[in-house]
Each structure stands twice: as structure tokens, then as C-alpha cells.
Amino acid sequence: MKENKRKNCIYLDHAASTPVSGTVLEAMLPFLTDFQTNPHGSCYSARYALDAVKKARKQVAELIGSEPSGVFFTSGGTESDNLAVLGIARKAFENREKKAGKRLDKKDFRIVTSAIEHPAVLNAAKQLENEGFDVVYADVDSEGLINENDFEKLLTKKTLLVSIMTANNETGTIEPVGRLSALAREAGALFHTDAVQAAGSIPFSVKETGADAVSLSAHKLNGPKGVGALYLKNPAIVEPLMFGGGQEKGIRPGTLNVPGIVGFGKACEEAAERLENGGASRLAGLRDRFLDGILEAVPEAHLNGSKDKRLPGNINISFPGCDSSTLLVMLDAAGICASGGSACSSISGRKSHVLTALGLDDKVINGALRLTLGHETTEEETKKCIGELARIADNYRKMGILRAL
């Protein structure tokens, strides 16, 4: 295989995945070399690995303001979302049947989610719909925000589960999950939030959110890929999707990924320190200067999502009339890595369901770029990107392709 020697690109795709920090890698290495044992073994090496897992569980819990006992490790955000949506809905229905003392019809019981959720939630909800449940999708406004009054109308006394993401992976729009969770609780429903994009980027507390379940992923906050967590206020609300040796209290059995878990814990610790030291504000300031620079250089460009209620590192911006895949090729040739939306949307080849839900025109959707910054992104890098976008836009302008809305 030919070695990829291109290492000095400007990386503006942190919403897809973040670089593993040097200190995270350093924390992981001993468990890839000297302590390779199963943490549930009986030798010293196994006990050392198990202690490291306990430490990581505490580090993850401290980032989200929970007790360590509520953190269950998974393979990532997708598994956490599936375990929450499928596991909670099925268990809640089972409990309703036990309470009624008779068989009940699933079509009488509702699952509420939104039109802009990650595919891991949407496809899990689709599975529940296939099983017979009544699944409804909350609409969003032109900024991608859920209207609380419209949301409340979807809730019934037979709503089992509500799943609303904390922050959108494409537009970065931050939803009012604390208030939505309270409305769900009043209706007697359990509440899950996908906080994969939010945790570590903005202050997030399970207590303030009031969520019964929260999905997390390590590789979105400078940790390794292939590891995540599901926070559960009460483990009894979930029916496991997998069966095995009883690890993670039977919620998620399977031999623990010790190096990944250790890296996840260290990444959470570092993310918490950055937030404590004003990292979110610094990044938001850089994002705003970056956005202002793009809009000044390309006045035809259109910001997608909320201007104010968005993640500090997210810019989702459209160049109406242009093709995002061509824009990405041009940026890549200039040494700039970005995306046209979520990585999952790129795999499917379909246009963004998120931008479609915002009611945007096809020429806006097709010309969308997602430029997402990380805490290591520099002012110089954003300025270079602005210059390249200005050059590309000028060429499109001369061809009559790029036009203002």
C-alpha cells in the first residue's frame, strides 16, 4: 500500500472526527503493550487494567456531571443511540404490559424523535416503527430548532420514549433539551439525548438536562475511534441488545476495549479542562471571525442553522448554485479538509435530511459545506481557507453559477 505522506492539511472536519491528542495516545499505549490482559482476569496486569477502566469511567462521568455507576461503555455513538432507542422503548412497553396484566397493542404507544436526528437514531426509530410502534417526528424551524409548543402537542400519556439530540451534527444547532426533557417527563415518557457533538464542546450536565439516557462518543472530543458510552440514570430502563458474559452489568456485554476506554477517559478529562479554561468561548470567537471573513469574501454565501444557538466550532454554509462535492475537491487540492455534511450522509449519497428539514432550496442544499473547527485550529488556517473560498467563488461567479439568493 502506498504511504500517505500528506500530513500538513488544514483540518476543518472536526464534526466528523477529531485528531487523537498526544496525551491521550500516551495514556493508551501501556494497555496496547504492557497490560494487554482482559480486565476481568485475576492476575496483577488484569487488576491494573480494571483500575484504569474505573478511572476512565470516573473521568467520563465528571465531564457530564454524573455518577460513574451510570456510565456504560460501548463501541461508539451509534451503538449507544441504538441501545437507548431500541432498548428503552422495548423495555418501557414490556413494563406497560406487565402493569396492565395483559397483551397490549404497540400501535397505541408512541415514540417521539425529530426530523434532524443522526441516522443512528432515525434508523433505530424506523425499526421500532417496523415492530408496530407509533413513531412521530418533531419538525424544526428554518434555523433547525424544535418549537416547544408544537413538540408538546406530540406527547401523549402513551408516549414511551422521546429522543432529541442536544446539538445537530450538521448545522451545529443546539436544541433546548432541558425544557423538552421536562415536557417529556410531565407526559410520563423517558428522555434520551444524543450528546455526541455537544459533550466536550459546550458545558453539558445530565442533571440540568434531566435526561434518562445520554449517548457519547470518544472520537468527537480528541479520543480514539471505536469507543463511546451510554449514560443511564437507571439501568433498569434498558433491555440489552447483546448477550454475553455480563460485562457492564449485562447492559453491554463483551470484553472491554481497555486502550480505547482509557483514551476516552483521558480525552474527557482534557475536554473538561478546556471548558473550565474558556475553550468554548475562544473557539466561538475564532468561528465568528472565520464566518465574517467568508461572508465578506463571498457575500452570496448563506449560513445554515441558527447563528447564535450553535456549537462553537461549527459553520454550515452554502454557496447557492454550486456543487458541494466539487467545492470539496477544490478545497482538498488546496490542502483543506472539510465536508459537505455529515460523514454518514456522504456514505449514503443522499442529500442532507437535516438541511431538507430546514426547508432550504435544493440549490442551497447542494452547495453546502460543513467547516468545523477544533481547539487546535489556528487563525492563520482559517484565513487561508477564506482566501481559497474567495478564489473558488470568483471563478464560479464569472461562470454565472454562484448567485445570491
- Distance, CA of 209 to CA of 197 (rounded, Å): 15
Confidence tier at 60 by pLDDT (50, 70, 90):
very high
Give domain limits for the chain: 26-274, 278-398
> Is residue 4 pLDDT above 60, yes or no?
no
Distance, CA of 293 to CA of 57 (rounded, Å): 41
Class of domain 26-274: alpha beta
Res 200: pLDDT:
97
Mean pLDDT of the chain: 94
Query: What are the tens digits of pLDDT across the range 207-229?
Result: 999 999 999 999 999 999 999 99
Residues with active-site annotation: 344
pLDDT greater than 70 at residue 7:
no
Q: Which amino acid is at 303?
A: L
Q: Do domains 26-274 and 278-398 have the same CATH topology?
A: no
The confidence score (pLDDT) of residue 2 equals 45
Q: Does the pLDDT of residue 3 top 50, yes or no? A: no
Are 318 and 369 contacting, i.e. CB atoms less than 8 angstroms apart?
A: yes
For position 405, what pLDDT does the model report?
76
pTM recorded for the entire structure: 0.95
- Residue 349 has what pLDDT? 60
Mean pLDDT in residue range 187-203: 98
What is the DSSP code string of 127-195? HHHHTT-EEEEE-B-TTSPBPHHHHHHH--TTEEEEE--SB-TTT-BBP-HHHHHHHHHHTT-EEEEE-
- Which cell is 89 given? 422503548
Q: Cα(46)–Cα(127) distance, rounded to whole angstroms?
A: 39
Classify the phi-psi angles of 305: left when phi > 0, otherwise alpha if psi is within -120 to 50, otherwise beta: left
Q: Which cell numbers hold the place of 15?
A: 464534526
Q: 343 pLDDT exceeds 90? A: no
| pLDDT tens digits along 319-338 | 999 999 999 999 999 999 99
Q: How far apart are CA 285 and CA 305, in angstroms?
A: 18
CATH code at 278-398? 3.90.1150.10
